[in-house]
Structure 1
Amino acid sequence: MDPAVLRADMVDGLESPPRDALSDDAIATAMCTVPRHEFVGDERTAYADRDHDVLGTRVLSPSTVARLFEALSATDGDTVLIVGAGVGYTAAVAAELVGETNVHTVDIARPLVFESRANLAEAGYDGVLVDWRDGADGLPEYAPFDRILLEAAAVRPPRRLVEQLTNGGRLVFPCGTHRQRLEAVSSDGDRDRFGAVSFDPLLIDGEQHGAVERNRTAREDREHANRNAQSRRGWQFEWIEWESSLGR
């Protein structure tokens, strides 16, 4: 079937009960335009309302993407930073909304940066900037941004991202750990809360994509060991030396 027809059917489903995930006409037009199959790699299922797994990352379902952009409230000409480039689909939708040269996106995983760049170029959005870095640091070289979308969960708004908002800017992110809600934070501290969501946690430098639990545990173990080593008192070292002498 013609992908354009599939996109129209997808958007119609998002606008109708029981999903009711989409009410903004500009977002509907953007999602009708972006060739989602170029990012998912499977034309048969690309427009179904489901997540996809590509290179170990989750490509968000169309209904989740719609909810993110409804909360973001980006308009034509806004500068947008997306933290979590993934395979590039969300950035392509943003490019349709605000113009591709106004969209910047970062990811901590190098393979996803390369994949996102290739997909965006293939789909006709090569004006989007995709950079490799720790997303919690944002993209200060291009700040400030009118809108920042964080596609990873955090327990509070990352400070560096809030600092990179324009006056009147807006940061949207999944707030929480096991139980998460979508939240929007303005540059002056006002917060709006939306429905429940489920996202992977925000990775930090040193944590490899696709192995969050293992790498986070290893990092915490190292930090714990360092704290213990720094807190030892002299008598502990003397006790260790005394035990060593007994074993001789």
Structure 2
Amino acid sequence: MTSKRTRDRLVERLLEQGVTSQFVLELIANTPRHLFLDEALSHRAYEDASLPIGFGQTLSQPYIVARMTEILLGAAGDPKRVLEIGTGSGYQTCILAQAVEHVWSVERIKPLQDKAKQRLRHLGLNNVTYKHADGGFGWPEQGPFDAILSAAAPRDIPKSLLQQLAPNGVLVIPVGADEQVLTLVIRDGEEDKFITQKLEPVKFVPLLSGVTR
């Protein structure tokens, strides 16, 4: 289930789908995805599929985690301060924490975030700060951020997130209701305007308001 061959097959599938960053592929290969699932589903951990984690949420498929990470790192250069909207299982958090200096992660469902904290502590990752809050507001007290990644889809891009981007900062976010598009927004540091690129169709859980204890 967790053999090198199993993980190598996953990496081969990601390569076939167009993920090109060797750094990101190595992160995916070396991160124990089975630890981010309940035991009953752990045998499916290295499939390229999204899987349920409870509370109506999902563990994103490895392709989309790799793709969003690759886009973020490629557009932001060498981001130090990254905000994540939606801690979820902690898998995307784990990938980001191995790639950047510090991650601030916001999650509206407290039991999910508590479990994610335990997992990342177990893996020795101490460069993540967590907040139980409504993700649509971001974390303005800790901004500005070099990059923001959202693991949930709003109907429209929240202005509050755009305002928390540093000059030349980037936002990677799925946008839309019935039809969602992975979107990259870059804050132009010279003219202080936002440049938006629509990248590819995706399917994420919606970005909901409010919190759950």
TM-score category, normalised to shorter length:
0.7 to 0.9
SS of structure 2 residue aligned to 1:85: coil
Residue 104 of structure 2 corresponds to 104
Q: 1:76 deviation in Å?
A: 4.4
Show the 5 A alignment for 1:5-16: 5-16=5-16
Show the 5 A alignment for 1:80-95: 80-95=82-97
Q: Report the CA distance shift for 1:181/1:77 in structure 2 as closer, same or farther (over 3 A).
A: closer
SS of structure 1 residue aligned to 2:36: helix
Return the letter of the residue paired with 2:111. Answer: P
Residue 52 of structure 1 corresponds to 51
Residue 190 of structure 2 corresponds to none
Residue 165 of structure 1 corresponds to 165
Q: 1:70 deviation in Å?
A: 2.6
Show the 5 A alignment for 1:71-82: 71-73=71-73, 75-82=77-84
Q: 1:131 deviation in Å?
A: 1.4
Q: Which has the higher helix share?
A: 1
Matched, 1:199 2:204: yes
Ranked by relative contact order (alpha carbons within 8 Å, sequence separation 6 or more), the top structure is 2
Gaps of 5+ in 2: 188-192
Residues of 1 paired with 2:141 and 2:3: CA distance?
Answer: 37
Q: Percent identity?
A: 31
Residues of 2 paired with 1:85 and 1:2: CA distance?
Answer: 23
SS of structure 2 residue aligned to 1:97: coil
What per-residue deviation string (whole Å, max 9, x for no partner) do you get for residues 75-103 of structure 1? Answer: 5452111100001000111112114xx11
Please say if residues 38 and 123 of structure 1, whose CA atoms lie closer than 8 Å, have aligned partners that are also in contact: no
Please say if residues 106 and 131 of structure 1, whose CA atoms lie closer than 8 Å, have aligned partners that are also in contact: yes
Matched, 1:33 2:27: no
Residues of 1 paired with 2:82 and 2:139: CA distance?
Answer: 11
Count the aligned residue pairs: 203
SS of structure 2 residue aligned to 1:86: coil
Larger radius of gyration: 1
Q: 1:23 aligns with which of 17, 20, 25?
A: 20
Return the letter of the residue paired with 2:198. Answer: R
Matched, 1:140 2:140: yes
Return the letter of the residue paired with 2:82. Answer: V
Q: 1:151 deviation in Å?
A: 1.2
Residues of 1 paired with 2:115 and 2:96: CA distance?
Answer: 17
SS of structure 1 residue aligned to 2:105: strand
Q: Report the CA distance shift for 1:82/1:3 in structure 2 as closer, same or farther (over 3 A).
A: farther
Q: 1:140 deviation in Å?
A: 1.7
